Amino acid sequence: MSYGGDSRMGGGLGNKQEIMQQVQQEMLMSQMQGLVQRMSLTCFEKCIEKPGTSLSSSEQSCLAKCMDRYLETTTVVTNSYAGRVQQMASQGEH
C-alpha cells in the first residue's frame, strides 16, 4: 500500500467527492447487512420451532411474512426519521 506519490490520490475536489461517495456506499452496505442479520435472527426465533434439514410450509410462510413486515416497518421508521430530520433542518433555516 502506498501512502504518497500516487497520482490517483491527488488532492482535487472531485477525488474527495469520490471518496466520500464510496464511504457512504460502504456505510449503506454495512447498514443493510446489519438489517438482514437482525431480520434473520428475529424471524428465525419467531418462526422456527425445531431447526432441522428443511422448513415446513408453515415455517416458510411465517418467515416470508415476518421478513415482509420487518422490511415494511424499517421503511416506515426510516422515512419518518428522515422526514423529522428534514423538518428540523428546515426549521433551523428560518
* Dist. CA 17–CA 22, nearest whole Å: 9
- pLDDT digits (tens), the chain, 94 positions: 444 444 455 556 679 889 999 999 999 999 999 999 999 999 999 999 888 999 999 999 999 999 999 999 999 999 999 999 899 888 876 6
Query: What is the pTM (predicted TM-score) of this model?
Result: 0.64
**Residue 52: in which H helix or E strand, if any?**
none
